[in-house]
Structure 1
Amino acid sequence: MTTDKTAPHGAVLPEAPPEGERPLVELRGAGKSYGTVRALHGVDLAVHAGQVTCVLGDNGAGKSTLIKIISGLHQHTEGEFLVDGAPVRFTGPREALDRGIAAVYQDLATVPLMPVWRNFFLGSELTKGPWPVRRLDIARMKRTADEELRALGIVLDDLEQPVGTLSGGQRQCVAIARAVHFGARVLILDEPTAALGVKQSGVVLKYIAAARDRGLGVVLITHNPHHAYLVGDHFSVLRLGTSELSAARSEVSLEELTHHMAGGAELAALKHELAQVRGVDVEELPDAADVADAAPAPGEGNG
């Protein structure tokens, strides 16, 4: 006989699922306040192995705060944060890394003038020889970097080339492969396609799918619903620090996702208010669905 449990924030939760179905990372009613400012409130999110969970939202929606909680930069001030089903409260990013949670930010934490293999092992260099005259094991680092990159389908002709000479998409992929090699089970990607064109965005999305196929739980932070829908398995839309939508891929269409991202509910309310103003013909204003249909396709406007 199974029994339900009640979470601290009042939600009734079913009995814990079998370990194979348990989320790698889960937020239950999580929130974060900075003094009197409530940046995040009542957010539920589950990241499963072998799935891409997309978190979408406009500027100021709370995406950055969510990343910081999961990656250990900040602690949540309400709700629960669970890793492998156990409540946690990280005191820093190192604790999150030790639990297999890695974040790849937009700056990628790379040194442009250093070779690809040096950036791959930056801060975790392999050495050989007796102490105190140990030296860098360059051959093993090059071989390992090449193997890990190829495992994700990334083939570079010269690992000696400065990482700054790679395209934006290739640099993103090097950062993803590096995180996977160093034990990431949950990979958080912060707007990986924000500054990329159509072709390079496609390259990055392909390697995100490859990471998912290797069994990682991927959290894709983006403001582009088209990119999210290409690889996403579950979608969570944030607005002003709260969840506006949480749905599996089978439960939401691209049009509905774009509608939420375009602020369809707010546009409808605005149109209703404008109808009360003399001299404004609201019949000439576009509907929220029209605004969603007019949203730019991936890569448009990157110029």
Structure 2
Amino acid sequence: MTSNGRTPDEAAEERLLDIRDLRLAFGNVVALDNCSLYARPGEVTAIIGDNGAGKSSLIKCILGVNRPTGGTMTFRGQPHTALSPHQAKDLGIEAVFQDLALFDDLTLWQNMFIGREVRRRVGPLALLAKREMAARADEMVSRLTVNVPSARRTVRSMSGGQRQAVAIARAVAWGSELVIMDEPTAALGLRERTEVEEVILGLRAEQRSFLLISHSFDQVMRLSDAVWVMRQGRAVAHRRTRDTTGEELVALVTGAKSAEL
């Protein structure tokens, strides 16, 4: 039985992402060493660890950038030995990185619809439906707690918090099942960081699912439902956030406290 009274099989049924014994090696360098962890739907699952612990290698495997050399990954109950980036997107796995991958000189709506442009046929021509895309982009960001300007404004004119909110909105706007956030507020000031965290909490309340990579244990405690600790390419500890403290997480990451799954 698990700690909440369910059998292991019942607990496994609740898993959106289930990674078991994942291995990634580059020649003699082992980036992931039989790493196993999972994430439940409708939750923010944090992954923490020192630099070199394997966090980036893990998320690149999930996104299809790296091809694992061993182990399995199950997403929404379907096994996937290895994914391509295109397959990961088709499954509904999106990512928001520190650099945001936004185009400064394009408008908000153009950034939201890159690669997903809406066209309307007029006779033999297929024309961009600019007004429709701008209106839909306004709808996409209207429920965010950050005051994002008109969809017709360029990204360059926005604050750091607004840019981050747009990047998150773009990731979740297309029916994403899982959004991976890698240090989503690392370059932001206190006010902007608070605004972005409110966006994440609001989306979590809508049962959106996130993987959060963060070096800020305070942020992990504020945002996450569960925490995995990685060290030397392995997931060495798992905690429900309500049952741990920032101090314990520090001790688990540094090895001052014995890790346990």
TM-score for both structures, normalised by structure 1: 0.78
Structure 2 partner of 1:186: 178
1:229-248 to structure 2, matched below 5 A, reads: 229-248=221-240
Partner of residue 10, structure 2: 17
Contact 2:22 2:32 in 1 (8 A): yes
**Alignment partners' CA distance in 2, 1:87 and 1:225:** 32
The residue aligned with 1:32 is 24
For 1:113, what is the secondary structure of its paired residue? coil
**Long gaps (5+) in structure 1:** 1-13, 269-303
| Inter-CA distance 124–254: structure 2 relative to 1 (3 Å threshold) | same
Residue 123 (structure 1) aligns with: 115
Q: What SS is found at the alignment partner of 1:203?
A: helix
Aligned-residue offset at 1:260: 2.8
CA distance in structure 1 between the partners assigned to 2:70 and 2:91 by the alignment = 21
1:131/1:109 CA distance change after superposition, 3 Å? farther
Q: Indicate if the aligned counterparts of 2:229 and 2:238 stay in contact, CA closer than 8 A.
A: yes
Compute the displacement of 1:22 (Å).
2.4
> Is the 1:16–1:22 Cα contact (8 Å) retained in structure 2?
no
CA distance in 1, matches of 2:203, 2:37: 20
What is the aligned residue count?
A: 253
Pick from 153, 161, 171: which aligns with 1:169? 161
- The verdict on how the C-alpha distance between 1:130 and 1:27 changes in structure 2, with shifts beyond 3 A counting, is same
- CA separation of 1:91 and 1:28: change in aligned 2, threshold 3 A: closer
Cα distance in 2 for residues equivalent to 1:165 and 1:16: 50
Aligned to 1:147: 139
Distance 2:250 2:185 in 1: 17
Query: In the alignment, is residue 219 of structure 1 matched against residue 192 of structure 2?
Result: no
| Paired residues of 2:146 and 2:196 also in contact (CA < 8 A) | no
Which residues in structure 2 correspond to 1:246-257 (within 5 Å)? Answer: 246-257=238-249
In structure 2, list runs of 5 or more residues that go unmatched: 1-6
Structure 1 residue 210 corresponds to structure 2 residue 198 = no
Q: Would the aligned equivalents of 2:94 and 2:176 in 1 still touch at CA under 8 Å?
A: yes
State the AA in 2 paired with 1:139: R
Residue 74, structure 1, aligned to residue 66, structure 2 = yes
Distance 2:128 2:95 in 1: 26
Partners of 1:131 and 1:236 in 2: how far apart?
55
2:152 aligns with 160
Give the drift of 1:264: 4.8
CA deviations over 1:121-172 (Å, ceiling 9, x no partner)? 1121111124641111111111111111113334423222210221222111
Q: Which residue of 1 aligns with 2:128?
A: 136
Which residue in 2 is equivalent to 1:61? 53
- RMSD value over aligned CA atoms? 2.2
Larger radius of gyration: 1
Cα deviation code 1:246-275 (max 9, x no counterpart): 1111331122113334x2529x9xxxxxxx
Secondary structure, counterpart of 2:256 in structure 1: helix
Q: CA distance change for structure 1 residues 195 and 18 in 2, over 3 Å: closer, same or farther?
A: closer
Conserved 8 A contact 2:62-2:83:
no
- Give the superposition deviation at 1:18: 7.8
Is the contact made by 1:104 and 1:190 (CA closer than 8 Å) also made in structure 2?
Answer: yes
**What SS class does the counterpart of residue 211 from structure 2 fall into?**
strand
Q: Sequence identity, in percent?
A: 36
Q: 2:23 is aligned with what amino acid?
A: G
Matched residue type, 2:256: A
Counterpart position of 2:44: 52
Q: How far apart, in 1, do the equivalents of 2:142 and 2:150 lie?
A: 13
Provide the C-alpha distance between the structure 1 equivalents of 2:142 and 2:246, rounded to a whole number of angstroms.
Answer: 32
Report deviation, 1:47: 1.4
Q: In the aligned structure 2, how far is the partner of 1:85 from the partner of 1:191?
A: 28
